Chains A and B, each alone.
Chain A
Amino acid sequence: MRVQKEVFDAAAEAAVLTDGRSDIGAVVTFTGLCRDEGGALAALEIEHYPGMAEDEITRVACEAAARWPLEGIVAIHRYGLIKPGEPIVLVVTASTHRTEAFAAATFLMDYLKTEAPFWKKQHLADQTSGDWVEAKAQDFAAADKWRA
């Protein structure tokens, strides 16, 4: 679990989970990227709460590990200025079978979006400073369904 400014290498991070292992049957890798919103966006600035961001990602990963039989988890969230096309967030889950790996990866993303203290601000291509991204009701609904 990491919070970092630097770009990450999704394939290298996933390989760490499977290197030297012959018991893992499924690895799900999810990378969230910065979109340019049809050319309007120059960059996203991601603010975080140092300390709590790491704590929340770890807490969410522990909850995933308690819910599904996982052989490994990687979760990385970046902060700072991120350009369109660059990765923002990475979730990798490894399991014996695919069902658990897919479910755990979805759960991790649903929870990271709504529980980990990160906030996105838009920097627009026309040099103006854009607004803070508003939280979406559908993201909270997606996280809520795991509580049922």
Chain B
Amino acid sequence: MRALYFAWVRERIGKAEEEIAPPETIKTVGELMGWLHGQGENYAAAFAHIKSMRAAIDRTHVKHDALIGNAREIAFFPPMTGG
């Protein structure tokens, strides 16, 4: 599964994207955020405030309780500030 990071999530992790292989026990987007949080200091900083973070599966906004299923691309980012 491809993970994409944007804005300060990208800056804190130190990369824009990577291939990730979470254990099969990780079923939801929220669980995946929790797992990523444990992948090192930079990830802990990026996922320090999981509640306010946004995610998208295959370029569609999803809630934290959404199932990851067969997602090819999952993105994590702060609330949008465009316009």
8 A Cβ contacts from A54-79 to B: 55-56, 77
For the complex, what is the distance from the CA of A121 to the CA of B6, rounded to whole Å? Answer: 12
Best-surrounded residue of B10, B75, B79, B81 (most CB of chain A within 10 A): B81
Q: Mark A117-129, 1 if CB is under 8 A from B, else 0.
A: 1111100000000
Among candidates A117, A139, A140, residue contacting B56 with C-beta atoms closer than 8 Å: A117
Asked whether, in the complex, the Cβ of B83 is within 8 Å of the Cβ of A109, the reply is yes
Q: Mark B59-72, 1 if CB is under 8 A from A, else 0.
A: 11100000000000
**B76 CB to nearest chain A CB (Å):** 11
Cβ-closest chain B residue relative to A88: B83
Given contacts A51-B59, A52-B75, contact A134 B81 (CB under 8 A): yes
For the complex, what is the distance from the CA of A133 to the CA of B8, rounded to whole Å? Answer: 10
Q: Does B78 contact A (CB under 8 A)?
A: yes
Q: Does A135 contact B (CB under 8 A)?
A: yes
Chain A, interface SS category: mixed
Q: Please indicate the chain B residues that have their CB under 8 angstroms from the CB of A55 in the complex.
A: 59-60
8 A Cβ contacts from B6-65 to A: 6-8, 10, 56, 59-61
For the complex, what is the distance from the CA of A56 to the CA of B78, rounded to whole Å? Answer: 16
A residues near B (Cβ < 8 Å) are: 32, 46-49, 51-52, 55-56, 77, 88-89, 109, 112-121, 132-135, 139-140
B residues near A (Cβ < 8 Å) are: 4, 6-8, 10, 56, 59-61, 75, 77-83
Ranked nearest first, the 6 interchain pairs of A and B with the lowest CB-CB distance are A118-B82, A113-B83, A135-B79, A119-B7, A52-B59, A133-B81
